[in-house]
A and B are shown apart, each in its own frame.
Chain A
Amino acid sequence: MAAGTSTIAEATERQRRLELKELLQKQYKWIDRKWDLVFWVTAIFVVAGAADITKQLFAGDWDFWTDWKDPQWWPVITAFATIIIPSALQYIQWAAWRFPTGATYTSVCFFLAAWVGRYFQWHVAENYPMNFVWPISTVCAGIILDWTLMKTKSFILTSLIGAHVWAILVWAYNYVPLAPFLQPAHFMDHVLTLSDVQGIVYIRSQTPEYLRLIERGALRSFLGETQYVSLVFGGTVAFVGYWIGQFIGRYLAVWPIRRYLKTL
């Protein structure tokens, strides 16, 4: 009996695979690879724009300058601001094609847009050196977020695990280029970091203060653990950001399509 059921199940599965294969190899008259190419290329711009504006307006100041990349606020705000659009695209690409690639795609688009903006608008137009205004990258965190979705096949688990990993990786990956600017320097009888010196030398007359004294308050007394407290809290706010992104993907991008599908 069990053997018979197993054979029927295998035959059904084989039939399903054949149908899928046939569907995959189906020749259409007008649907060709050009549609794919146009979609993936033109979507780069709206995705890059959405990701970059979200980051700039929530966490822009921490990303613009090396002296703002502190251990207290930068890991928290950046993790929140940068996960929103990758999460939305992760949902869209998973719902449409079961591609676990949305966060990576967004991160790459965002990385390119950020570098174009930073090079032309900050370096060429305003003469800030690139080693003062370089943008962060979320590509590594995007790959791991997609990998988490691929392995768990669950948005809930991805938000719980992936958001915390996101916060850690965004900080860790970008700490590598930041580390040289955190070396101590003797400047006008004070011990500062190199990034602090950059902030003094390159004058920003319209910002609230020339040298932003970021590390203040009780976290300074955490015996050097400020960074880790911030990273854990960064994961918590990234979790919130992840679900804001899910809302965008589910209700602003995909819901209208599902609504139309019901009319067919």
Chain B
Amino acid sequence: MAQSQAVQQRPKDYGHSAIATGRSPHPTDWMVGWKPLFWSCALIMAANIFLWCWNYTFAFTAGLNSASPEFTRYYRTLFWGELIVLGIFTGIWYGWLIRTGREIAGQACERAEEVRRIAILWSIIGATSLSIYIEASFWPNWDGSWHQTMVRDTALTPTHIPMFYFFFPLSVILAIGAYLYGKFRIPALYARDKGFPWSFFLLISAAVFECMQVAFNEWGHSLWISEEFFAAPFHWPFVTYGWLASGMFAVWGETILRLFEIEKAEEVATTDTRDTRFQPHAAAD
């Protein structure tokens, strides 16, 4: 609410879409507020296609024996490569979010700008949703088909490496990144003084819990059920990820309510301006 009261009416340039269409720029134009959605989803899909093609090419020729030199060359390298890429990406992104977030903290924010930021938050959430699908549906299918036919001799199997060590942590990174974005840029909803939101608590804990469950899963396979019965009891805790990810709906719901607040504030401001403008005429009449 503090954001609504501290608004400025200064027009803002939202980029090239206004030039292209010849009309005033809009914070929710596809290439303004929603642009990160397309870029992030395109990058995630590109990574997924690359990893799928890598596995399709090397799984049977280099991925069957974890003690072989081929496995080290094609799969341990991939494993470390994934972790390094994710580490660098996280450092840069979080660093940028926190550094620029601290710079703008406490500054007044236009209503249109806040709408744009909510669209960007939705874009990050959309990318998280795609990552969740890839890790919870797309790769588990190959993991199932692989483990029901191939011998498991390590926790670093060809299907685990993309799934457990790339997309699982990627979802954690995206969920925490979405929260950091909201915390610094949408303070009306997620400022520190409002406490940690339940919505993000559920979403982040879903992603973190999933990574922890990997350890339990591998431990269970090492001594309990080595062959792959997919509905094995120690697989069951994985489902809590999908359930806790419902927190994503809470993020959507909270931000929609905030959008209505912003619209209401805009309506009030517009009405006040109009009343002030016509007051002299009314008096003259």
Contacts and interface: CB of A to CB of B under 8 A. Distances in A.
Contacts of B89: none
Contacts of B28: 30, 32, 34-35
B198 A256 contact: yes
B142 interface: yes
Which of A41, A48, A113, A253 has the most chain B CB atoms closer than 10 A to its own CB? A253
Contacts, number: 221
B7 interface: no
A122 B183 CA distance: 42
Given A64-B144, A121-B145, A260-B254, A38 B122 contact: yes
Interface string B145-157: 1111111100000
Interface stretch (B91-99, B258-266, B276-284): B258-266
Interface stretch (B66-74, B76-84, B101-109, B126-134): B126-134
Contacts of A29: 263, 266
Contact of B141 (A96, A117, A259): A117
A253 B36 CA distance: 25
Contacts of A28: 263
Interface string A115-154: 0111011101110100001000000000000000000000
Interface residues of A, number: 67
Interface in B23-72: 26-28, 30, 34, 37, 52, 55-56, 59
A60 B144 contact: yes
A91 B267 CA distance: 32
B243 A50 contact: yes
Given A42-B125, A125-B142, A50 B253 contact: no
A47 to B, nearest CB: 9
B177 interface: no
Contact of A248 (B123, B144, B243): B243
Interface stretch (A167-175, A198-206, A215-223): A198-206
A206 B236 contact: no
Interface of A: 28-32, 34-35, 38-39, 41-46, 48-54, 56-62, 64, 77, 84-85, 88, 92, 96, 113-114, 116-118, 120-122, 124-126, 128, 133, 203-208, 248-249, 252-257, 259-261, 264
8 contacts: A34-B28, A46-B132, A49-B134, A113-B138, A121-B139, A207-B227, A207-B229, A256-B247
